[in-house]
Amino acid sequence: MADLIDGYCRLERNSANSLIIKPSKGREARHKLPDIPKRGSPSVSNKGSDIYAEIPDGKEDSSEKHSISRDDIVLGRILGEGFFGEVHDGVYKSPSGERIHVAVKTCKDCSAEVKEKFLSEADLMKNLDHPHIVSLIGVIEVDPVWIVMELLEHGE
């Protein structure tokens, strides 16, 4: 396992030097551990890596930014049922006129408490931008509440 981690660190740091220090013959223990790289140094930077999701620092309220009109969505067939309700496929017409295939999560028994839990998923998704995470298209907070996200052709 240590060799696997060492190899990964070599790739990330673009270095041929191993982080593993093996004791020399006749020497029992290492006197000092290697220094920990400082945050922000090029050897620790994860910029350009596709294994991290970008989460912006901004705390601004983005609910208006992600609010969309129900009139811009045409629901299709039911894809399945989630914890809160049915999930439909659909087509969303963006403000630019582009038609986007989407998945629409619905909330069937949407009391105030259930609505808060349902929308907490959308709140998390608002700040995520990663190629391996489904993107949030928008939210309709007026009953019936919908979360609209990109549709994965062969996924869940």
Q: Is the model's pTM score more than 0.85? A: no
The verdict on residue 61 lying in a domain is no
The verdict on residue 155 lying in a domain is no
Confidence of residue 136 (pLDDT cuts 50, 70, 90): very high
The partner residues of 103 in beta bridges, in order of sequence, read 89, 149
Confidence of residue 131 (pLDDT cuts 50, 70, 90): confident
User: CATH no. for residue 80?
Assistant: 3.30.200.20
The verdict on residue 86 lying in a domain is yes
Is the N-terminal amide bond of 34 cis, ω within 30° of 0? no
The predicted-structure confidence for 142-152, as pLDDT tens digits, reads as follows 889 999 999 98
Report the number of distinct structural domains present in the chain. Answer: 2
How many angstroms separate the CA atoms of 74 and 25, rounded? 73
The predicted-structure confidence for 9-38, as pLDDT tens digits, reads as follows 888 888 888 877 665 555 555 556 666 666
The verdict on residue 97 lying in a domain is yes
For 129, the domain range is: 70-150
Task: For residue 105, say whether it is annotated as part of any ligand binding site.
Answer: yes
